[in-house]
Amino acid sequence: MKILILNGPNLNLLGKREPEIYGSQSFEEFFEELRKRFPDLDLEYFQSNHEGALIDKLHEVGFSYDGIVFNPGAYTHTSIALSDAIVGIETPVFEVHISNLAEREDFRQISHVKDVCIGSINGMGLEGYAVAIEELKKNPPLKGGG
């Protein structure tokens, strides 16, 4: 099973940025833990601060991978283009957020991607990524995927 973890803007600063909200571990460190926890999976990781690069990556893998775990960062609240990209691909996408959006600012409580994803997890810290991977393993894609 091939799964891409896709992170959006500012998530390259995990471990440095607002540790009281996002923790003190870098995503690269956590990704290595995920690879050890899921040795039976082919996990890949991509991060970009650029909306177009995220869309391009969704298009690139969206007809051949078995799942995508996606944290769009702040684009969650603003990007119709990311929502459209998810609708346009076949690979199932699971939305993840480290913080609890319901406890954040009002504008962060709106997700433009939630309704086009197969599931959404927020507020579990980095562990939310592992939960999303488990969900993708339990519910293999109905269409597409390789």
Selected catalytic residue, list 45, 65, 97, 129: 97
Asked about 22 being catalytic, the answer comes back as yes
Task: Please name each of the domains of the chain with its CATH number.
Answer: 2-138 (3.40.50.9100)
Listed residue (56, 59, 34) closest to 45, CA to CA? 34
Q: Write the pLDDT tens digit of every residue in 64-81.
A: 999 999 999 988 888 999
pTM exceeds 0.85, yes or no: yes
Query: What is the helix (H) or strand (E) element at residue 41, kind and residue range?
Result: none
Selected catalytic residue, list 22, 45, 75, 129: 22
Q: Write the pLDDT tens digit of every residue in 25-49.
A: 889 999 999 999 999 999 999 999 9
| Distance separating alpha carbons of residues 37 and 63, to the nearest angstrom | 26
